[in-house]
């Protein structure tokens, strides 16, 4: 309650604007009851300073900050976009080059060979006895644009894995292969199956090849089954390199093999347009269905 | 606080900070230095200052620079003539002139408290946060200052 002991504090708080409505009313009632204190109240109220709004800080703009050059920021964004695009292109080129480094074209062999095999397999036994037809079939295989396949190595190219190295020497000596015993070839076929098992694309080829090997006699024309996977031996080392590079990719084994097949398929197609590759769009097709086109 | 918030603070509070610093330091040149330094500190600390707290932060820096530093350096030479020459505007009331003179009777801290109270409308608690004083100290110092001002006004009025 306002009284003669504390009225001055109330007046100062009134000047400070710190009194609530009830306290203000109490103070006013007290002053009304003591009119001699009104001048003192007015004097306290007059001590309230009023800012001189005409006093301004000149050149506020000097205090303001400007953002860093916007163009530079955009430039960095553009740079990163180009960098990302370059990284994608580098990856794509790497895949292409990996495919180019190999002379194999397993996907092509898959797409092309089954037709040949399905035709030749049922007639394998009779064809085996027919040297001319067998040679024709082999030539047909070799004439198939499956990349820079070395014809000298075709005989041995059906082998894969560590065994293929041994057979590479054998391929230089066709007679040796002819003189190979069936048991050994069956062993090779088993190893082929083991090595190529993770590659589902080869399975259709291996099955007839294995059958042919199993049915193979000592006849010299029995090279046909061995040639059923003509690029395996040649592409052995590059494929290993490719596998190692592909292993770096954070993708599943199945996808990795798929990427390998696609890369090989692309390699095959690219080889067909080598002369004007720079000006050619690369179209990816499965069968007659166009998957996508790479605009170059 | 982003750059945009900072620039808004300049637009919003530079004049008020300048008036406060001008009354505290007693001259415009020092006041401009105080304002520049205050905004520079705000810019450096912008990551830690929310836009809503920027005004109090500015006045805290300005208070420290214009009151504490000047007091420690004994550089304050608040001359009545300076304020008179600047603030005497044609048509200005006698009361305001007398009050400007009365303000020179206060020490730097009391003057700053009154300015924060009357110019900026801060309550005791907010003034305590800016000045580093507790609420009771603010209230006591402010009432002492208010009494000095009142007595000066009454004395001048009696003379007149």
- Binding-site residues on chain B for chain A (CB distance < 8 A): 3, 6-7, 10-11, 14-19, 22, 32, 35-36, 39, 43, 86-87, 89, 95-96, 99, 102-103, 114-115, 117-119, 121, 123-124, 142-143, 146-147, 149-150, 153-154, 157
Percent of chain B with pLDDT over 90: 47
Phi, psi of A231 (to 5 degrees): -105, 0
Q: What is the DSSP string of chain A?
A: ---TTTHHHHHHHHHHT---HHHHHHHHHHHHH-GGGHHHHHHHHHT-----TT---S-GGGT---PPPHHHHHHHHHHHHHHHHHHHHHHHHHHHHHHHH----HHHHHHHHHHHHHHHTTTHHHHHT-HHHHHHHHHHHHHS--SS--GGGTTGGG--THHHHHHHHHHT-HHHHHH--HHHHHHHHHHHHHHHTT-GGGHHHHHHHHHHHHH--S-TTTHHHHTTSTTTTTTHHHHHHHHHHHHHSSS-HHHHHHHHHHHHHHHHHHHHTGGGGGG--EEEEETTEEEEEE--
Residue-wise pLDDT for A86-132, tens only, equals 788 888 877 777 665 554 444 444 444 444 444 444 444 444 444 44
Average pLDDT of the segment spanning B134-154: 92
Chain A residues whose CB is inside 8 A of the B87 CB are 52
What is the distance between the alpha carbons of residues B55 and A59, in angstroms, rounded to a whole number?
19
Give pLDDT, residue B153: 86
Average pLDDT of the segment spanning A184-190: 51
- Tell if the CB–CB gap between A49 and B99 is shorter than 8 Å: yes
Residue in A16, A53, A56 nearest the CB of B142: A16
Instruction: Inform me whether the pLDDT recorded for A45 exceeds 60.
Output: yes
Instruction: Inform me whether the pLDDT recorded for B22 exceeds 80.
Output: yes
- Tell if the CB–CB gap between A17 and B121 is shorter than 8 Å: yes
Q: What is the DSSP letter of B48?
A: G
What is the extent of the structural domain holding B93?
3-159
Domain ranges of chain A: 1-58, 91-100+238-294, 120-234
What is the distance between the alpha carbons of residues A202 and A189, in angstroms, rounded to a whole number?
13
What is the distance between the alpha carbons of residues A41 and B35, in angstroms, rounded to a whole number?
35
Greater pLDDT, B68 or B75: B68
What is the distance between the alpha carbons of residues A107 and A124, in angstroms, rounded to a whole number?
23
CATH number at residue B112: 1.20.140.160
Nearest CA in chain A to B8: A64
What is the distance between the alpha carbons of residues A17 and A44, in angstroms, rounded to a whole number?
11
CB–CB contacts below 8 A, A to B: 82
Chain B residues whose CB is inside 8 A of the A67 CB are 3
Greater pLDDT, B121 or A165: B121
Domain count, chain B: 1
pTM over 0.80: no
């Amino acid at each position: 309650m306002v009284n003669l002991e504390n009225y001055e504090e109330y007046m100062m708080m009134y000047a400070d604007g710190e009194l609530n409505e009830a306290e203000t009313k109490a103070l006013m009632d007290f002053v009304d009851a003591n009119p001699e204190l009104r001048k003192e109240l007015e004097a306290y109220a007059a001590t309230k300073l009023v800012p001189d709004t005409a006093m301004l800080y000149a050149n506020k703009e000097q205090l303001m900050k400007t953002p860093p050059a916007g163009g530079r920021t955009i430039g960095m964004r553009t740079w990163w976009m180009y960098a990302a695009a370059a990284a994608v292109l580098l990856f794509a080129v790497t895949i292409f080059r990996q495919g180019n480094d190999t002379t194999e074209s397993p996907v092509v062999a898959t797409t092309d060979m089954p037709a040949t095999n399905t035709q030749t397999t049922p007639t394998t036994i009779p064809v085996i006895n027919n040297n001319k037809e067998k040679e024709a079939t082999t030539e047909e295989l070799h004439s198939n644009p499956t990349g820079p396949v070395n014809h000298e190595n075709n005989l041995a190219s059906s082998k894969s894995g560590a065994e293929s190295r041994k057979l590479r020497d054998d391929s230089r000596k066709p007679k040796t292969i002819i003189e190979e015993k069936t048991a050994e070839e069956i062993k090779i076929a088993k190893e082929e199956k083991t090595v190529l098992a993770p590659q589902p694309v080869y399975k259709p080829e291996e099955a007839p090849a294995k059958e042919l090997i199993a049915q193979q006699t000592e006849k010299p024309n029995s090279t046909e089954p061995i040639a059923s996977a003509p690029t395996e031996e040649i592409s052995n080392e590059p494929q290993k390199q490719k596998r190692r590079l592909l292993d770096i990719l954070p993708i599943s084994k199945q996808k990795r093999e798929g990427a390998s097949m696609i890369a090989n398929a692309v390699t095959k197609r690219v080889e067909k347009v080598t002369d004007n590759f720079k000006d050619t769009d690369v179209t990816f097709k499965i069968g007659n269905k166009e998957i996508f086109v790479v605009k170059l | 606080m982003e750059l945009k918030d900072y620039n808004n603070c300049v637009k919003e509070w530079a004049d008020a900070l300048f008036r406060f610093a001008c009354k505290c330091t007693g001259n415009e040149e020092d006041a401009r230095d105080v304002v520049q330094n205050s905004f520079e500190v705000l810019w450096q600390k912008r990551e830690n200052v929310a836009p809503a707290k920027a005004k109090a932060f500015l006045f805290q820096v300005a208070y420290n620079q214009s009151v504490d530093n000047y007091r420690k350096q004994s550089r304050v030479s608040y001359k009545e003539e300076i304020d008179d020459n600047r603030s005497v505007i044609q048509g200005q009331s006698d009361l305001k002139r007398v009050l400007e003179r009365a303000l020179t009777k206060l020490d730097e801290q009391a003057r700053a408290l009154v300015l924060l109270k009357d110019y900026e409308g801060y309550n005791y608690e907010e003034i305590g946060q800016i000045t580093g004083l507790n609420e009771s100290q603010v209230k006591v110092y402010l009432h002492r200052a208010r009494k000095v001002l009142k007595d000066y006004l009454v004395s001048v009025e009696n003379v007149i």
